[in-house]
Amino acid sequence: MGESFVVAKGLDNCVSIYPKAEWERFLELLMTIPPSQRRPLQRFFGSGSEECTVDSQGRVVIPPKIREHAGLQKEIVVVGDTEKVEVWNRQAWTEYIGSPEFETENVAKIMEELGM
């Protein structure tokens, strides 16, 4: 992740942790979207993101408003993504992986539609 990174509200009520360069790339991509569609995205991510660093014991402290967004309490799940890391409430992650969206057939269909 580097010395500093961005902790942000994620979709599906998780927390996304971006390396700083990836976050900047994400913001650049947002700027290519027409303003009427960009505004809600800027507000969602802008109101729920903070630059953070690792503390002296190697821990990441997720700001309270972002922790609240994801319902992070005691048990969490950390999921690697291609450009970021997601942190989930364990119960929410268990429900998500049991959803139709996560089923192999659905993932295969999306990959086929994308030509993968």
- Global pTM reads 0.83
Can you tell me whether residue 3 is helix, strand or coil? Answer: coil
Between CA 56 and CA 31 the distance in angstroms is 35
4-89 topology per CATH: Chemotaxis protein chec (3.40.1550)
Q: How confident is the model over 9-60, as pLDDT tens digits?
A: 998 899 999 999 999 999 999 999 998 999 999 898 888 889 988 888 888 8
Q: Which sequence spans correspond to the domains of the chain?
A: 4-89
Residue linked to tokens 């119960």: 91
CB 18 within 8 A of CB 6: yes
